[in-house]
Amino acid sequence: MLTGCSLPSHLPEVTFHANGKTIRVEPAVYCDIGGDNCAERGQAGKLRVPPGKVVQISVDGQLADGIWEAVFLYRDAAGTQQTTGTGLLGKGEDFTYTLALPDKGDQLLGIEIHEAAAAVLETGQPLLRGYWAVEITA
């Protein structure tokens, strides 16, 4: 059971804007800063993004002060699903990111925002503290 001091009272939200629509998404899963005491919180957001359109991503100050990344799934013109990401962002410098796919005909399928915890895995990768998900329709 989670206690009041395990997770912050205000969970960070991520804002996604595309095709004239803006949505705010709560974390699907969120843990304390050490990557423990995790709780399932929100559901995936839904956003319509036609091929060739960009998505503006804006993160809460709490995420921007830490380390975060955007990971996205898309289908290329040949019909092959691809996964790629932004690499690590944040550290008090990155509050926004514009997601544009490599080619105009590529169709975005989904986006996840990952926040790193204070802990590090044996591989040297940061432990995931929370993630925000968006399902995309054309």
pLDDT in tens, 78-123: 999 999 999 989 998 999 999 999 999 999 999 999 999 887 778 8
Listed residue (47, 51, 52, 39) closest to 20, CA to CA? 47
Q: What is the overall mean pLDDT for the chain?
A: 90
Listed residue (55, 82, 70) closest to 116, CA to CA? 70
Q: What pLDDT is recorded for position 95?
A: 96
Q: What pLDDT is recorded for position 6?
A: 56
Report whether 110 contacts 85 (CB < 8 A).
no
Listed residue (113, 80, 115) closest to 99, CA to CA? 113
Could you give the 3-state DSSP secondary structure of residue 119?
A: strand
Q: What residue ranges do the domains of the chain occupy?
A: 14-101+111-132
Percent of the chain with pLDDT over 90: 68
pTM of the prediction? 0.88
- 71: pLDDT strictly greater than 60: yes
Percent of the chain with pLDDT over 70: 93
- 7: pLDDT strictly greater than 80: no
What's the half-sphere exposure (Cβ side, CA atoms, 13 Å) at 89?
23
Q: What angle do CA 5, 71, 128 make, to 5 degrees?
A: 30
10-69: pLDDT as tens digits:
789 999 999 999 999 999 999 988 888 988 887 899 999 999 899 999 999 989 999 999
